Chains A and B, each alone.
Chain A
Amino acid sequence: MADVVMNRPLQLDPPLVEGNPTYAQVTDDVAGIVERKPPREWYAAIGITGLLTVVLGVSIAWLLYKGVGIWGNNQPVAWAWPITDFVFWIGIGHAGTLISAILYLFRQKWRTSINRAAEAMTIFAVMTAGLFPLFHTGRPWRAYWLFPIPNLDLSLWQNFRSPLMWDVFAVSTYATVSILFWYVGMIPDLGTLRDRATGLRQKIYGFFALGWRGSAWHWNHYEKAYLILAGLSTPLVLSVHSIVSFDFAVSIVPGWHTTIFPPYFVAGAIFSGFAMVITLMVLARKTYRLEHLITINHLENMNKILLATGSIVAYSYAVEFFTAAFSGNPYEQFVFMNRLVGPYAWAIWIMFFCNVFAPQLFWFRKVRRSIPAMFVIAIIVNVGMWFERFNIIVTSLHRDYLPSSWGMFTPTLFDFLTFFGSLGFFLTMFLLFLRYLPAIALSEVKAVMPAPQGGKGGE
């Protein structure tokens, strides 16, 4: 008995950084990414995503010239793909804030090596999401009408009793606070890049580092600011997708008018966001050889969150169906039967497969720790979460109350081009982030590393 105890290294938590590197090695590993020429994979990837971004630009230009008629939006399915894409992208963002804020408050130290990249992903996902309602309005040059700015060509005020206005405030606050949180977290690391650079690069990084010198007096206020921003972001991230769900739930459309929508949307958002973080991290750690900083334990933890949120989502689907059956409301019952066997039934069965079945494989430790398996499952979940939103929007709208107003929705080529173009835009932004900014929070990783012992350590 004693032998067993003695022979096993007593370690309750797996190490957060593998291979016992020194501080300087960690700095080199992370800062080196932006200092060296990027690997060939990076150029190949940005070539493809850049092309897709051009596709997005061209399809938006054509949209501005012709109008929203180039999309498949119609009556009754006026929200169609653009709002599906909007909810999809805004949901993706949630994982970043969960990692950076909620896991910080819960003192989950494993978050430190993934939070920076996940926050960057949040910002780019929210930026991408913002494009869709903006262009879905049909007159994006009037976008300032959404904000309470006094102006001469609009002699009335916004209707603050409408959930669509709440949405404007929620999404723009979320974007702003996420950028602030991300930037504040990055200031010390920008200082590191500044101190290693020369010439113009030094000036640019120096500008954004704001003269940071790591003074203990500064860290004192900085830590407080970071804690407060984490505390503010936590209810904020929960509010954003709740308010997005109000866009649906506050209406009287059958299939939308339910009280489970806010928690259901938030769980789904975190679920889809983690799937995207895993997709991006698996590729980034391999390409940049960061396996010792973003370890298999980090990925396994994220897979556990995927399993947990995936199960909440599955439960929400079940509750939706139960509530519809139990409500005694024929319209509600019809919408859910129509989802299962109607003309769009394939969408809900894809959704069930991707979101309910696929993540359950993570009950097995082998699957949770297998890179190919988690990569495939994460992509399946991404697809499934897109179909969830498609399912919510299209099947509820295309057959609601009066059969005389029923209709069908068919996407056009431009629906596809805009969506895949937006994917390209999102990935391009992420690749540029990897190229020019510290992708791993150096000052946080160093703080959770075992400190060198004695007076001469850390050489």
Chain B
Amino acid sequence: MAEKKLYGAVAEFSTPAALLEAARRMREHGYTRMDACTPFLVHGLDKALGIRQSPLGYIVFAGGLVGFVAGILLQWWTGAVDYPLIVGGKPLFAWEPSIPVIFELTVLLSAFAAVGGMLALNRLPRLHHPLFEMEAFRRASNDRFFLAVEATDPKFQPEQTKSLLESLGAESAALVEES
């Protein structure tokens, strides 16, 4: 059997502060391809890992715009073009009575864009990830904070990276294989 490829070196921390500090120090050491897995959102971690602001807002704006235009076209086309029927002497299409449906469709498609966009940007759903091979990683959704340096990082040296992580206050550190 051929030797398995490495995913990277993974260290386990017991507090968010220790993880943050370690992430900052690893950045100072020049590591760039890192990931951190935490049971809740740790503020400051995005900066420490060099994560840019999420572009989700633009996706949602596009979704909302589609809903807005669809709301106008739907009511105008069905009411004034395809089936013009005068009800109560009112105009076939007017802004005032069209606002509720336009608003609701704008919100609906924005929400779809927000959820769909978030999942797509995160490459979710996915069936598996090398980190799930680690038994200790089960606690990443409970009370442990993990920092991973991926093997694709230009500075990555398996044993050296692992011992550097250990020296930064990790409870433990391990090398994880690509599954």
In the A-B complex, the 10 residue pairs with the smallest Cβ-Cβ separation, listed nearest first, are A23-B143, A210-B125, A225-B118, A157-B78, A166-B100, A224-B54, A211-B126, A192-B141, A169-B104, A443-B40
Chain A nearest Cβ from B20, distance in angstroms: 10
A245 to B82, CA, bound (A): 30
A453 interface hit (Cβ, 8 Å): yes
- The answer to whether A215 touches B107 (Cβ under 8 A) is no
Hey, which chain B residues are within 8 Å of A239, CB to CB? 100, 103-104, 107
Asked whether B101 lies within 8 Å of A165 as measured between CB atoms, the reply is yes
Q: Are A214 and B114 in contact (CB under 8 A)?
A: no
Contact B138 A216 (CB under 8 A): no
Query: Contact mask A184-209 → B, CB, 8 Å, 1/0?
Result: 10001001101110000000000000
A374 and B29 alpha carbons, distance in the complex (Å): 57
Contact between chains at B74 and A148 (CB < 8 Å): yes
Chain A residues within an 8 Å CB radius of B101: 160, 165-166, 169
State whether A232 and B111 are in contact (beta carbons under 8 Å apart), knowing that A157-B79, A211-B129 are contacts in the complex: yes
* Nearest CB of chain B from residue A64's CB, rounded to whole Å: 29
Q: List 6 A-B contacts (CB under 8 A).
A: A159-B79, A160-B74, A180-B114, A211-B129, A212-B141, A443-B39
Residues of B within 8 A of A181 (CB): 111
Q: Are A455 and B142 in contact (CB under 8 A)?
A: no
Q: How far is the CA of A208 from the CA of B117 in the complex (A)?
A: 17
Mask, B114-158, CB within 8 Å of A = 1, is: 110111011011111101100001111111000000000000000
For B37, list chain A residues within 8 Å (CB).
213-216
Known: A24-B142, A157-B79, A443-B39. A184 touches B16 (CB 8 A): no
Known: A24-B142, A180-B111, A213-B140. Is A161-B97 also a contact (CB below 8 A)? Answer: yes
Among residues 416 to 458 in chain A, which have CB atoms less than 8 Å away from a CB atom of chain B?
442-444, 446-447, 451-458
C-alpha spacing A458/B14, complex, angstroms: 6
Counting CB contacts under 8 A, is B42 at the interface? yes
Q: Quick one: CB contact mask for A300-318 with B, threshold 8 Å, 1 for yes?
A: 0000000000000000000
Contact in complex: A211, B125 (CB < 8 Å): yes
Cross-chain contact B39 with A446 (CB below 8 angstroms):
yes
* CB-contacts of A214-272 with B (<8 A): 214-225, 228-229, 232, 235-236, 239, 243, 246
Among residues 112 to 164 in chain A, which have CB atoms less than 8 Å away from a CB atom of chain B? 148, 156-163
Report B66-107 CB contacts with A as 1/0, cut-off 8 Å: 000000001100110011010110100010011011011101
A22 interface residue per 8 A CB criterion: yes
* A177 CB within 8 Å of chain B: yes
Q: Is A176 an interface residue (CB 8 A)?
A: yes
Cβ A210 vs Cβ B124 within 8 A: yes
Task: Please tell me if the beta carbons of B78 and A148 are within 8 angstroms of each other in the complex.
Answer: yes
Min CB gap B87→A, angstroms = 6
Check if A173 is an interface residue, CB within 8 A of chain B: yes
Chain A residues with CB below 8 A from B53, complex form: 220, 224
Report A-chain residues with C-beta under 8 Å of the C-beta of B132. 213
Given contacts A212-B124, A225-B56, contact A159 B115 (CB under 8 A): no
Q: How far is the CA of A245 from the CA of B146 in the complex (A)?
A: 51
Chain A contacts for B164, CB-based, 8 A: none
**Interface 1/0 per residue, A7-18 and B, CB below 8 Å:** 000000000000
- The reply on B30 being an interface residue by CB < 8 A is no
Does the CB pair A22–B143 fall under 8 Å?
yes
Q: Is the CB of A161 within 8 A of B115?
A: no
Contact indicator A173/B108 (Cβ below 8 Å): yes
| Interface assignment of A97: CB less than 8 Å from any CB of chain B | no
B78 touches A220 (CB 8 A): no
By size class, the interface of chain A is 35 or more
Given A27-B142, A228-B110; A221-B118 close (CB under 8 Å) = yes
Evaluate whether A177 and B108 lie within 8 angstroms (CB atoms) in the complex, with A195-B140, A222-B41 already known. yes
Please report the C-alpha to C-alpha distance between residue A181 and residue B110 in the assembled complex, in whole angstroms. Answer: 12
Is the beta-carbon distance between B105 and A169 smaller than 8 angstroms?
yes
Is A220 in contact with B46, judged by CB distance below 8 angstroms? yes
Known A236-B107, A447-B41: A221·B143 in contact at CB below 8 Å: no
Other A-B contacts than A159-B79, A188-B141, 19 sampled, CB-CB below 8 A, are A27-B143, A159-B85, A177-B108, A180-B115, A183-B115, A195-B137, A212-B124, A214-B40, A216-B37, A217-B35, A217-B49, A221-B56, A222-B118, A224-B56, A235-B107, A442-B40, A446-B40, A453-B17, A455-B169
Q: How far is A428 from B41 in the complex, measured between Cα atoms in Å?
A: 33
Contact across chains for B100 and A216 when beta carbons are under 8 A apart = no
Residues of the A chain whose Cβ atoms lie less than 8 Å from the Cβ of B161:
none
The interface bits of chain B over 43-75 (1 if a CB of A lies within 8 angstroms of the residue's CB, else 0) are 001100101011011001000000000000011
Which residues of the other chain, A, contact B49 by a CB distance below 8 angstroms?
216-217
In Å, the complex CA distance between A181 and B111 comes to: 8
Q: Is B75 touching A160 in the complex (CB atoms < 8 A)?
A: yes
The interface residues of chain B lying within 8 Å CB-to-CB of A458 are 14-15, 143
Query: When the two chains form their complex, are residues A191 and B141 in contact, meaning their CB atoms are under 8 A apart?
Result: yes
Instruction: With CB as the reference atom, state the residue of chain B lying closest to A451.
Output: B16
Is B36 interfacial (CB-CB < 8 Å)? yes
Asked if B18 is at the interface of the complex by the 8 Å CB criterion, the answer is yes
A444 near B14 with CB under 8 A, answer no
Residue in B closest to A454 when the chains form the complex, CB atoms: B15
Asked if A455 and B18 sit within 8 Å, CB to CB, the answer is: yes
Complex interface: chain B residues within 8 A of A453 (CB):
15, 17
Task: List the B residue with the shortest CB-CB distance to A23.
Answer: B143
Q: Is A459 interfacial (CB-CB < 8 Å)?
A: yes
A325 interface contact, C-beta 8 A:
no
Is residue A340 within 8 Å, beta carbon to beta carbon, of the partner chain?
no
A residues less than 8 Å from B46 (CB atoms)? 216, 219-220
A367 within 8 A of B: no
- Could you tell me the distance between the alpha carbons of A194 and B137 in the complex, rounded to whole angstroms? 12
Q: In the complex, which residue of chain A has the Cβ closest to the Cβ of B13?
A: A455
